[in-house]
Homo-oligomer: A and B are copies of this chain.
Amino acid sequence: MAEDFNVTAYEVEGRVDYARLIEKFGIRPIDAALEKRIGKDAGELHYLIRRKIFFAHRDMDWLLTEYEKGNRFYVYTGIAPSGGMTIAHLLPFIMAQWLQARFGAEVLIQIPDEEKFLAKRDPNLTLEKVHGFAYADALNIMALGFDPKHTRIFLNTEYAGKLYKQAARVAKHITFSMVKDAFGFTGETNIGTIFYTSMQAVPAFIKSVEAGKDVPCLIPLGADQDVHFRVARDAIAKLGYPKPAIMHNKFLPALKGGAKMSSSDPDNTIYLDDAPEVVKKKVNRAITGQQATAELQKELGGDPDRCSVCQYYRFLFEPDDKKLAAILDAERNGTMLAGEHKADLAARINAYLERHRKAKERVSGSMADVMLGP
């Protein structure tokens, strides 16, 4: 039976059925019991979990058992730079920062500067260009409130002196057939892209290598990245390290609808450095852009799940559940006009981006301590 959606490491297409995704990936839903346990251990429950935006996991029960025994985990996540950072990129980092604050977790952030460089045919996407994006990403990440004493960020090509050796150990246990099936590689795939998943695997166990004992690892990630660890988790276990736990987030919808807000479609996306007028323009188009008729607009407006504006409140711009419910009700009941909605959302996004810009200024002085050099 053909799926009407497709989630791979390289693209997300169609309207994602997350229940089906859980089956396909062999992952588990974050159920009520696990939610409760996370809330108890953390002292509160993050809205991204409560709203099932982080909807699935691997081995969280094991991780929390270790934590409850006093064996702290570290958090590993990352971003592959290929252009400016968007608000959709923020989700795993918001979760990572919360985990750091609530569980006292060290955070390790990989910026795989080679990944998109290798995967994209664009001859203008040089490694030097990617490095520019990478350092901008690092600053954007630290502006989210990470503790600079307990957060480290590295670019793969700069930190390869530490990574490559461990990547070779992982790679020995991963055959071409395995990545061919998992990533859809062909004979035309270049050998850097084929090897790359080993580099993404390393930070999931490197703290165990360094400490000489098992250090649990938790990876918050967009669900499209799960494939890397479906491939690598067995290899990591074969090397004698604990398999990392994983928390999966859903994709922030594109402004004009669609599966995932992608940084390769600038008009469908809010960049962290978008100017206020640009944000207004994009949000305006999001609301009016996709619906051809007032009738259709009314129909979709009646279903907040299919309304991008509502989703933006839900994912990022209204963490208070009661206030969110009021907004969604107003959408559903038509008591708030589309124009009011879009103006309010744009104002919230712009306020967020303004705070973010100021936060970047504040943290820029600590970046040298945070970045792991060659």
Residues of A within 8 A of B (CB): 114, 117-118, 127, 156-165, 167-177, 179-180, 185-195, 197-198, 374
Quote the shortest CB–CB distance from A263 to chain B (angstroms). 20
Instruction: State whether A171 touches B195 (Cβ < 8 A).
Output: yes
Chain B residue with minimal CB distance to A197? B191
A194, B187: Cα distance in complex, Å: 12
Quote the shortest CB–CB distance from A237 to chain B (angstroms). 15
Instruction: State whether B176 touches A187 (Cβ < 8 A).
Output: yes
Please give, as numbers and ranges, the residues of chain B lying within 8 Å of A169 by CB-CB distance: 127
Instruction: Give the contacting residue for A191; candidates B163, B179, B188; CB below 8 A.
Output: B179
Instruction: Give the contacting residue for A161; candidates B117, B168, B195, B374; CB below 8 A.
Output: B374
Chain B residue with minimal CB distance to A157? B165
Please give, as numbers and ranges, the residues of chain B lying within 8 Å of A187 by CB-CB distance: 175-177, 180
Instruction: State whether B175 touches A189 (Cβ < 8 A).
Output: yes
Chain B residue with minimal CB distance to A185? B176
Chain B residue with minimal CB distance to A231? B191
Chain B residue with minimal CB distance to A187? B177
Please give, as numbers and ranges, the residues of chain B lying within 8 Å of A156 by CB-CB distance: 164
Instruction: Give the contacting residue for A118; candidates B158, B159, B172; CB below 8 A.
Output: B172
Instruction: State whether B188 touches A175 (Cβ < 8 A).
Output: yes
Known: A171-B193, A174-B190, A194-B195. 9 other contacts (CB 8 A): A127-B168, A158-B165, A160-B160, A164-B164, A171-B191, A175-B188, A175-B189, A176-B187, A191-B194
Chain B residue with minimal CB distance to A177? B187
Chain B residue with minimal CB distance to A118? B172
A161, B172: Cα distance in complex, Å: 20
Instruction: State whether A176 touches B186 (Cβ < 8 A).
Output: yes
Please give, as numbers and ranges, the residues of chain B lying within 8 Å of A194 by CB-CB distance: 176, 191, 194-195
Quote the shortest CB–CB distance from A228 to chain B (angstroms). 12
Please give, as numbers and ranges, the residues of chain B lying within 8 Å of A158 by CB-CB distance: 161, 165
Quote the shortest CB–CB distance from A192 to chain B (angstroms). 3
Instruction: State whether B160 touches A174 (Cβ < 8 A).
Output: no
> How many copies of this kind of chain does the complex include?
2
Please give, as numbers and ranges, the residues of chain B lying within 8 Å of A172 by CB-CB distance: 117-118, 190, 192
Quote the shortest CB–CB distance from A161 to chain B (angstroms). 3
A127, B168: Cα distance in complex, Å: 9
Can you list 15 residue pairs at the A/B interface with Cβ under 8 Å?
A114-B164, A114-B168, A117-B168, A118-B171, A127-B168, A158-B165, A162-B374, A163-B164, A171-B192, A176-B189, A176-B190, A179-B191, A180-B187, A191-B197, A194-B194
Closest 9 CB pairs of A and B: A161-B161, A171-B192, A160-B164, A195-B195, A177-B187, A157-B165, A114-B168, A161-B374, A160-B160
Chain B residue with minimal CB distance to A161? B161
Quote the shortest CB–CB distance from A200 to chain B (angstroms). 12
A162, B158: Cα distance in complex, Å: 8
Instruction: State whether B177 touches A192 (Cβ < 8 A).
Output: no
A163, B195: Cα distance in complex, Å: 15
Quote the shortest CB–CB distance from A187 to chain B (angstroms). 4
A168, B194: Cα distance in complex, Å: 11
Chain B residue with minimal CB distance to A158? B161
Counting chain B CB atoms within 10 Å of each CB, the highest count among A168, A173, A189 belongs to A168
Please give, as numbers and ranges, the residues of chain B lying within 8 Å of A171 by CB-CB distance: 118, 190-193, 195
Instruction: State whether A188 touches B177 (Cβ < 8 A).
Output: yes
Instruction: Give the contacting residue for A165; candidates B160, B165, B190, B195; CB below 8 A.
Output: B160
Instruction: State whether A191 touches B198 (Cβ < 8 A).
Output: yes
Please give, as numbers and ranges, the residues of chain B lying within 8 Å of A374 by CB-CB distance: 161-162
